[in-house]
Amino acid sequence: MQQKEREQQMSPAERRRRTEARKRRQKAEQRRRQKKLLLYISGGVLAAVLIGLIIFGITKLTAGGSKEITAQNGTFVIALDAGHGGEDIGQSNGETVEKNVTLDICNKLKSMLEDQLHYQVVMIREDDTRISKEERVQAANDSHADLLISIHCGYAENTSETGAVSHYKKDSSASEDLADMIQEALEDVSGIPNGGAREGSYEIISSTEMPAVLVEIGYLSNMEEAGSLSDDQYQSTAARGIATAIAKKLGQSS
């Protein structure tokens, strides 16, 4: 018996039940297709997001890890940060006070970078004024400098500790490379013992946007080195070493 004849022999109630069952099957099939389509769409979106994250990660690693430093505006701009200032004197030993040493060296370094290498220099601290960490970071970022050097003095319980140590920005190959160059130049040009380069977490280098190095130029806890740090000639040779490293990193000779 053909389908049409069977349907004609059904009671109205049975035909209604069969119609409703057919509609339920159709709706169920439609829902399955919609779920399948959503799965395809979700998979595509997830894949696109993952690809985007991978590309973003590679870009960040490439940008942060690049050893190259290029002038943003045709001429290199160097930000110099003299540690401490005002009532914040830093460390001291006798008449040698850290805030004075850092400003003296930054002033000498500024003259060398401007007069001999023709860089533009931005001084974060220009006089005996206390500047907060947040203000220093803001000033450095506002300067749009191509790199930043922060000068400090070291202090250790072991009073025989001597030499310079350079701390570089985390995950920045350019900063690490510059820190190594500064250490080598301070030893070769200035005769300051090489205390090594190491990753640093100081805010002035971790929160600024450019490659950055914090240099502890010597130990105030060492009586002999503290005396040297207050000496004008010693400060000049220290500045010369840093200037030499900067020039080498930026592709010039000092």
Q: 49 falls in which pLDDT band (50, 70, 90)?
A: very low
- How many residues does the structure list for the chain? 254
pLDDT for the residue numbered 43: 61
Q: What's the average model confidence in pLDDT over 93-107?
A: 98
pLDDT for the residue numbered 26: 73
The single residue listed with the structure tokens 């490379």 is: 177
Is pLDDT above 90 for 175? Answer: yes
Q: What is the pLDDT of residues 109-148, one digit of tens each?
A: 999 999 999 999 999 999 999 999 999 999 999 999 999 9
* Rounded-to-integer distance, Cα 170 and Cα 237, Å: 28
CA dihedral 88, 195, 164, 131 (to 10 degrees): -30
Q: What's the average model confidence in pLDDT over 95-100?
A: 98
Is pLDDT above 80 for 51? Answer: no
- For 16: left if phi > 0, alpha if psi spans -120 to 50, otherwise beta; the answer is alpha
Q: 183 falls in which pLDDT band (50, 70, 90)?
A: very high
State the pTM of this model: 0.74
pLDDT for the residue numbered 42: 58
pLDDT for the residue numbered 47: 52
* Rounded-to-integer distance, Cα 89 and Cα 78, Å: 24
pLDDT for the residue numbered 28: 72
* Rounded-to-integer distance, Cα 102 and Cα 113, Å: 16
Q: What's the average model confidence in pLDDT over 4-31?
A: 67
For the record, the structure tokens of 125 come out as 């601290």
For the record, the structure tokens of 42 come out as 């979700």
pLDDT for the residue numbered 115: 96
Domains of the chain: which residue ranges?
Answer: 1-65, 77-249
What is the chain's mean pLDDT, rounded? 86
Q: What's the average model confidence in pLDDT over 187-201?
A: 96
User: If we measure between CA atoms, which residue out of 124, 148, 165 comes closest to residue 206?
Assistant: 148
* Rounded-to-integer distance, Cα 79 and Cα 115, Å: 16
Q: 245 falls in which pLDDT band (50, 70, 90)?
A: very high
Domain 77-249 CATH (choose: 3.40.640.10, 3.40.630.40, 3.30.420.10, 2.40.50.140)? 3.40.630.40
pLDDT for the residue numbered 55: 44
Q: What is the pLDDT of residues 212-239, one digit of tens each?
A: 999 999 999 999 999 999 999 999 999 9
Is pLDDT above 50 for 155? Answer: yes
Q: What is the pLDDT of residues 53-66, one digit of tens each?
A: 444 444 343 344 56
